[in-house]
Structure 1
Amino acid sequence: MVKHKEASIVTESVSVTGSSQDDVPPVHREDNILLRKLGYKSEFRREFSLLETISFSMAILAASCGVTTGYSYPLLSGGHFAMVWAWPIACIFVMCVAASMAELASSMPTSAGLYYFSAKMASKEQSALASWITGWSNITGQVTLICSINFSCTELITTAIAMGTDGAVVLGSGATFGILTAIHLTQAIFCSAGTRLLARMTVVTMVLILTTSIGAIVSLLACAGDQRASSADAWTKFENNTGWGNNVWAFILAFTSPMWSLTGYDSAAHIAEETAGAARAAPIAILVGVAATEILGWLYYIAASYATNSVSVILQSKLALPLGQVFLNVLGKKGALTLWCSIAVLQESAFLKKITLRYLTSGQYLCGCSQTVDASRVIFAFSRDNALPGSQWWKRINHTTQTPVNAVWFAIVLSAICGILVFSTAAFNSLASASVIGLYISYVTPIYCRVTWGKDKLQPGPFNLGWWSFPIGWIGIVWVVFMVVMLLFPYTQTANVQTMNYSIVIVMAVFIFAGGSWIFSARHWFTGPIPNIDVQSDLSSYSEKHTTK
C-alpha cells in the first residue's frame, strides 16, 4: 500500500475539468464550492441531472429484476404468506436506513460517500478506524453485488433458453460461467464510457424497470384465470419448505429477497461529484428510488402470489428461476383460461413471453452496468485516499472520458473472481448474502457514528431529519445487526458442500485481510479522507472568482 504523507496537499489551478471558469453554471459553482469545503477538487463533469440521479438509483434497485430473481426465497420460506408480507415488513426498516443515509448525503455530497461520513461523524480517536471499516465493507458489498446481479442476469438467460426449448436445453455450470464472463467483459467496456452516456443510460434503464414491473404485475393478475390462487391463500397460506423446523425462522429467511433487492441506493451519494445540485439531488434520489422500488416490488409479489396456484408444483420446476414457471403457467398454452381468453392469450403468449423475458434480461444487464459504475466510483474515492493496494492505478482519471476507467476494470475483475461460485448450487444465495452484509455494514457504520459521537457534528444539508434522526437511526442499526446475523445462516437446514452459504467465506476473507492490514500497517498511517487541495486558500480563491453578481 502507498503510505499517506500528511503534507501531500495539492492546490488546484483549474476550477472545473474541461471548462473555463466562465462556462461553469451557477449550480455547478455552488457544488464545487461545497466540494472544496469537504476537501476535494472537482475532477468529474457534473452531467447527472436530478432525473438521471433518481434513474441511477432505481436502475441499481431494479424492482422487476430483484423480484424476478429473488422470488425463490419467499417461495421456499413461507409460500404465499412470505411473498406478500416479508417484503413490506423489511421495507419499513430499510426506509429508516435510507432516510438516515439521505441526511448524511445531503450534508456531505462527495464520491467518498459512506466512509467519508464515518470519518467525519466518529470521534477523533475512532475516525480513521470507522472510515477504514466502512470503506472495506462497502467495496466488499459493491463487488459482490455486481456479481450477484450479473449471475441473476445469467440465470434469466438460461431460464429463457430452457423455456424456449421446452426444457430440452438446460445449460450446466460451465456454460453459465461462460455467459457470466461475457457479461462482465461487455459491461467493463460499456462502463468505461464518459459520464454523459452513462447518465443517459440510466434513464433508459429506469423506463425498462418501470415498464417491466408494471407489465409483469398486470400480466400475472389479468391472465391467471382459473389458476389464480384465492385471496385467502394468496395473503395468508403459509408453507415452510426450507427444512428448518421453526416456522418463524423460516419466514425470517424470506427477508433475504427484499434486503438483496433494496441494496445499492448509496449509489446516489457515490456519483455526487458528477451530479448537478448534489446536496439536494442525492437525498431525493435515495428516498425516491427506495420508495418506488418498495411499492413496485410489493405489488409484483402480490401479483406473483395470486399467480402461484401451487407452491409445491412451482418448486418442482427444472427452470433456474422458479418465477419463469409461473410466467409459463400464466401466459403460456398451459394456461387455465376460458376459451375466449385462451385464444387471446395463445395468440399473444409467445410474444408476451419473448418480450417480457427479453426486457427483464436487458433490464438486469443494465442494472449490472449501473452497479459497476457505482462500484468503480467507490474504488476511485477510496484509492484517492491511498487506502487500497495499487491505489495509484485505481485513482487515475482517464483524460478522454473523464471517468476512472482503471477502477471500472478493477471492479469487474474482482467480480469475475467471485463468479467462480457459480459452480456451487448455492452461488446466488452466497453472493446475495455477501453483498447485503458488506453493504449494510457500511450503511449503518456512519449512521452509528452519527447517533453516538456525531450528535453535534452534522452540518445539515437541504434534507435533514432533525430530532427524528436519532430514533430512525437506531431502528435502522438494530435491524441491520439482526439481518447480518440471519444472512450468515444456510438457507436450508440440511446444508452440504454444494448448498452451503459461502457468504461467510467471502466476508471473512475480506475482513481478515482488511483487519490484518489495519493492525500491522494502516493504523500507523491511515488517517481517513485526505484533502487533495489546500482547503482554506483554494476555497477563498475559488469563491472570489465564482461569486455571482
Structure 2
Amino acid sequence: MSAPRLKNRHRHDGAVALDDDATLHAMGYPRKLTRRFRAFDNFAISFTIINIISGIFSAFGFGMVAGGPRILVLGWIGVSVMVLFVGAAMGEIASAYPTSGALYFSAGKLAKRNRGAWSWYTGWLNFVGQVGGTAATGYAAATFIQAFVVMQWPGYEITGQRTVLITTLIVLLQALANTYTVQLVAALNRISVWWLLIGMVVIVVCLAFIPTHHQSPSFITHFVNNTGFSNGLYAAMLGLLVTSWTFTGFDGSFHMSEETVKATVNTPRGIMRAIGCSAVAGLVLMLALVYAIRDYAATASASAPPVQILIDGLGTSTAKLLLLIVIGAMLFCGLANMTSNTRQIFAFSRDGAMPGSQLWHSVSLRTRTPVKAVWLAAACSLVLIIPAWWSHTAFTAIVSVNVVGLYLAYGVPIFLRLRLGDAFEAGPWSLGRWGKPVARVAVTWIVFSSVLFMLPQVSPITGTTFNYAPIALGVVLLIATVWWFATARRRFQGPVSYGSPDEVAAMDLI
C-alpha cells in the first residue's frame, strides 16, 4: 500500500508549492507550533548542529591516533560525499512528509505493513541518537572550557568528575534557555551561522599566516596508527568517526518543519545546504589544522590536541582568543541540538509512543513550545554522561551512540522508501529518477558506518577503554522491544491522525 498523496497542491511562480497548514492537516495534525522559521532559519538549525568547529575540534585528537592526516583529510572528503547521499535521500522524504515527527512519522507512512513497529523502532533510535548528540556536545564544550581554564590558571587539574559537573551545568543552562527565552534561541540559531563561518575564517587565516612553520604538502598522506590495534585498515576506518560525528544532526531541519514556512521545499533545501556548506568549510578548517601541526607526537598526546596546535603555532594569547570561538561554537551546537531533540520528543509523544506522553507533548501557552519535553531531553542526556565520571573513553562512546542511533534512524525511512520503489509519491522537492540510486548508496553507507562505530576503538580493551555504545543502544532497544510486545503493539499503530483535514483545522491552537 503506497503512502497517501498530500492534497491542496497549487501552482505558484511556475513551481509546485504546498500550503503549510493544509499539508499538516492532510497528515492528520492540527497546528500547535508557531511557524517562525524561514529558509535561512531552517538551514541554520542543521548547520549549527553539524557545527564544523565543534565536530572537528572535539574529535581531531582521536583522528590523529586513528589514521592521522591521511584519514583526517581524505576521510573528510569521502565521508562528506556519502553524507550528501544520505541528506538527499532524507530531503526527498522530508518534502513528502514535513512534520516534527520526521523520521519515525515517515517510516510509519512508507512501510507496506507492520507500520507501527517500523515507526516505533525508528522513533526510539532517533531519540537515543539525539540524546547522545546533546550529551556529546555538552561534554566537548566542558572539555574545551577546562582547556581554556588551564591556559589561564595552569594549576587547574582536569578530571572526569569536573568534566561531568561542568557538562551538567551546560545542559541545564541550555534547557533553561529553551524554556524561557524561545525567541532568543531562534535569534541565536541565526547568529550561530555567522559565528561559525566568521570564526572558521579567523582560525584558518591565523593558522595559515602566523606560524613560522608548516608541514610540507605531502603531509596529508602521512598515516598513523596508535590505537593499539595492529591492523592499519581497521584503525583507518575508526578514524572516519571524526567526520561522521561532525555530520550528525541534519535531521534538525526535518524536525523543525512544522515551524518552517514553505516546509516542503525549505526543509530539504535546508538539509542539503547545511551538509554542502559544512563539507567545504570543514575541509578548509581541517587542512589548516593538519598543516599547522608542529610536533606530531607531542600534539597527539596532549589533553586537547587542537588547542596544542593553536598554542604551538600562534602563542598562548592568540590561542586563548581562538579557543573562545571554539567554545562558543560548541555551546551554539548544544543549544540547537537540544531544540531539535525536544521537537522529536514532542512529536513522538503526540502519538503516544513514550512513557508519560501526555506530559511530553504538552505545549506552553506562553511560548508555544513543548517545555516539558525540554527537560526530558536534558535529563536523559545527563544520564548518558554518567560513565564519564570514571571512563576516559566515554566521549568516543557517547559519540558512537550519537552517530549510530541517528544514522540507523535515518536509514530506516530511506530503506522503506527504496523498498516502496515507484509507489513512493514525492513532494515538490524530488530526486526524480535518481531517487532510488541515491537511496541505495545512502543505505549502504549507513549500514557500514553503524557497524563500524559499534566496534572497539582502543586496544587493549579494559573497563576504562571499553566502547559502551553497543550496551547503551542495546539497553534502549531491549526496553523498546519488551515494551512493544508487552503493551505498545496493541495500542500504537504508528503516526496518529487526529481526524480529517477539516476536523484537525478546527483544532488549530494558533
Which TM-score bucket, shorter chain as reference? over 0.9
1:393 aligns with 2:359: yes
2:404 aligns to what? 437
Unaligned runs of 5+ in 2: 1-15
Whether the 8 Å CA contact 1:141–1:438 is kept in 2: the answer is yes
Shift of 1:493: 2.2
Shift of 1:29: 8.9
Q: For 2:180 and 2:436, how far apart are their aligned partners in 1?
A: 40
1:77 aligns to what? 66
Q: For 2:59 and 2:110, how far apart are their aligned partners in 1?
A: 35
Whether the 8 Å CA contact 2:104–2:123 is kept in 1: the answer is yes
Q: One-letter code of the match for 1:39? A: G
Normalised to the residue count of structure 2, the TM-score between the two structures is 0.93
Q: For 2:120 and 2:506, how far apart are their aligned partners in 1?
A: 32
Shift of 1:237: 1.2
Q: SS state of the match for residue 511, structure 1?
A: helix
Instruction: Quote the sequence identity (%).
Output: 29
Shift of 1:355: 2.3
Shift of 1:406: 0.2
Q: For 2:190 and 2:267, how far apart are their aligned partners in 1?
A: 16
- Worse-superposed segment, 194-203 or 142-151: 194-203
Shift of 1:309: 2.6
Match of residue 189, structure 1, among 172, 176, 194: 176
Cα deviation 1:68-88 (Å, max 9, x = unaligned): 111012200121212211111
Any residues of structure 2 matched to 1:252-291 within 5 Å, and which?
252-291=237-276
Q: One-letter code of the match for 1:197? A: L
Q: For 1:276 and 1:535, how far apart are their aligned partners in 2?
A: 22
Shift of 1:457: 3.9
Cα deviation 1:484-522 (Å, max 9, x = unaligned): 111011211212111111111110010000011112221
2:156 aligns to what? 169
Shift of 1:194: 5.7
Any residues of structure 2 matched to 1:119-518 within 5 Å, and which?
119-123=108-112, 125-165=113-153, 167-193=154-180, 195-226=182-213, 228-233=214-219, 235-317=220-302, 319=303, 321-332=304-315, 350=317, 352-423=318-389, 424-452=391-419, 454-518=420-484
Unaligned runs of 5+ in 1: 1-26, 333-348, 543-549
RMSD of aligned alpha carbons: 1.8
Q: For 1:364 and 1:286, how far apart are their aligned partners in 2?
A: 20
1:22 aligns to what? none
Name the count of aligned residue pairs. 492
Normalised to the residue count of structure 1, the TM-score between the two structures is 0.87
Q: SS state of the match for residue 341, structure 2?
A: helix
Q: SS state of the match for residue 426, structure 2?
A: coil
Shift of 1:216: 1.7
Q: One-letter code of the match for 1:441? A: L
Whether the 8 Å CA contact 2:138–2:171 is kept in 1: the answer is yes
Whether the 8 Å CA contact 1:148–1:432 is kept in 2: the answer is yes
Q: For 1:229 and 1:223, how far apart are their aligned partners in 2?
A: 14
Shift of 1:197: 2.9
Whether the 8 Å CA contact 2:30–2:504 is kept in 1: the answer is no
Any residues of structure 2 matched to 1:96-135 within 5 Å, and which?
96-123=85-112, 125-135=113-123
1:38 aligns with 2:38: no
Shift of 1:28: 12
Q: For 2:495 and 2:239, how far apart are their aligned partners in 1?
A: 38
Shift of 1:159: 1.1
Q: One-letter code of the match for 2:117? A: L
Shift of 1:526: 1.0
Q: One-letter code of the match for 2:282? A: G
Q: SS state of the match for residue 455, structure 1?
A: helix
Whether the 8 Å CA contact 2:25–2:502 is kept in 1: the answer is no
Whether the 8 Å CA contact 1:194–1:403 is kept in 2: the answer is no
